[in-house]
Amino acid sequence: MNELRNSIIVHADRLLTPDGLPPFKGSQMRNINEMFDVDIVIENGAITDIRLHKDAHITAKLVTPGLFDVHTHIPFVGSRSKEFLMRTQGRKYVEILQSGGGIHHTTELVRNSTEEELFLQSKRYIEDFLSHGVVGIECKSGYGLDVENELKQLRVIKRLHQTSFLKISSTFLGLHAKPKDRSLDSYLDELKTVLPQIKEENLAQFVDAFCDAGAYAPDEIEQFMMYAKTLGFDLRLHADEIENVGATKLGIELGAKSVDHVLKVSDSDISALSKSNVMVTLMPNTSFYLGEGFAPARKLIDSGIAIALGSDFNPGSAPIYQPGFVMHLAIRFLKMEPEEILTAYTANGAYLLGINSGIVAPSFSADLVLWKTSEFIDIPYMFQENFVDHVLIDGRIAI
Ligand code: NIG
Ligand code: FE
């Protein structure tokens, strides 16, 4: 880790930041404050002032808030390249999952790996995220599918959090796939008995479930999710990605913080979402990778819904994490505006994870990306290029 500096001043030739208080819903996502030739004054990890340029320690062509990837499946080990080939030959993601591959394949590898192996592989991934301007990510379990290995994943996330610059939020996704080796009832009962321990040891902020065709039906998880909520967990759902099974509706009923994927949402789901405070997490690279179509982002935004973006980084449906590529797909296939993308990746993402960041303004954490280009659009335009010059997290130079 870097030396601690109590005070640092960053000069921005150009500063772009969401403007106001999150969450930014619908058209508010396009409210971007643009400033030129300013100094961002940072003291004890927080932004204290933005003023016309006088004197700075470090300078950049463009400064934005740090990026938040609100949906990844770290930690995991191993590869699913055989499955990738199977899909190119016509097999479907859910078909592979139901025949015991997919998530189950990674589960076997995770069960057979030590905590140390899982930690080292994941640490390498999150350092790559950081090098691309990501200051915060969400990580989740879900490749254990038994109590011992789900807890192993959660402990690895805690260790990643303790040993890294990144702000890491943890999610318990015990309900990722149905275990192959036991009855659903006995699995649910066992998970229920371990939830209080997860809470007590502060191993997870969120509880999530894969509520979709080939995974869990709404009525199979509703009670469990309600119980998690009574214990004080925030809820999220993998919702209606493969088919509309009513997962988005369940998410709204449960008061989830977000519903994620939602490729197959209906107009009535969108209307219900627009009347709720549920955020929608979109991950266009999963759509790209699986070839299953894209979420109706324009309809969602134009209905006044708040959007966050994520990579869904996982070894099966999205072995991709570069934010530039996610942004590229969001512009091309979700038809999002660059301003909307910036807000989704910064202020809305931070808000979803409960982190006081994602906006460059006094009193927010000094989590900043200093870019080598003055044009934000260059990042999605030339997505293979890494335009990151420096990354600051809590005012410390992490890159
Ligand atoms: O978000 N949809 C469910 N879970 C992941 C995929 C995980 C995997 O295939 O390993 C997703 O796409
Ligand atoms: Fe996912």
Kindly give the distance from the C-alpha atom of residue 395 to the centroid of ligand 2, in angstroms, as a whole number. Answer: 31
User: CA of 62: how far to CAs of 160, 250, 306, 335, in Å?
Assistant: 29, 41, 25, 24
Mutate to test the pocket of ligand 1, among 83, 94, 210 (most ligand atoms within 8 A of CB): 210
9, two tokens: 């001043």
pTM of the model as a whole: 0.97
Stretch 41-45: mean pLDDT:
97
- pLDDT per residue as tens digits for the range 177-208: 999 989 999 999 999 999 999 999 999 999 99
Instruction: Tell me 159's DSSP state.
Output: H
Is there an atom of ligand 1 within 6 Å of 286 CB?
A: yes
Residue 5: pLDDT band by 50, 70, 90 thresholds?
low
Could you tell me which of 283, 280, 223, 220 has the C-alpha nearest to residue 256? 280
SS3 content of the chain, % helix, strand, coil (to 5): 35, 25, 40
Kindly give the distance from the C-alpha atom of residue 11 to the centroid of ligand 2, in angstroms, as a whole number. Answer: 37
Is there an atom of ligand 1 within 6 Å of 281 CB?
A: no
What's the half-sphere exposure (Cβ side, CA atoms, 13 Å) at 68?
28
pLDDT at 297: 98
- pLDDT per residue as tens digits for the range 221-232: 999 999 999 999
CATH superfamily of 68-352: Metal-dependent hydrolases (3.20.20.140)
Within the chain, strands assigned E span 7-18, 32-43, 46-52, 58-60, 62-65, 67-69, 134-140, 167-175, 206-211, 234-239, 258-261, 279-282, 307-309, 368-371, 388-393, 396-397
- List, as ranges, residues with CB under 5 A of the ion ligand 2: 312
User: Domain map of the chain by residue range?
Assistant: 7-65+358-397, 68-352
Stretch 26-36: mean pLDDT:
98
Residue 54: pLDDT band by 50, 70, 90 thresholds?
confident
**% of the chain with per-residue pLDDT over 90:** 97
pLDDT > 80? residue 4: no
- pLDDT per residue as tens digits for the range 226-283: 999 999 999 999 999 999 999 999 999 999 999 999 999 999 999 999 999 999 999 9
* Integer Cα distance of 327 and 310 in angstroms: 10
Please tell me the residue having the least CA distance from ligand 1 atom 1: 312
Could you tell me which of 32, 34, 66 has the C-alpha nearest to residue 135? 66
From the CA of 177, the nearest ligand is: 1
pLDDT > 70? residue 1: no
pLDDT at 243: 97
- pLDDT per residue as tens digits for the range 62-92: 999 999 999 999 999 999 999 999 999 999 9
Contact 237, 269 (CB under 8 A): no
**CATH for 7-65+358-397, among 2.30.40.10, 2.60.40.730, 3.30.1050.10, 3.40.50.1260?**
2.30.40.10
Please tell me the residue having the least CA distance from ligand 1 atom 3: 210
Is there an atom of ligand 1 within 6 Å of 103 CB?
A: yes
**Could you tell me which residue, 82 or 6, shows the higher pLDDT?**
82
* Integer Cα distance of 368 and 389 in angstroms: 11
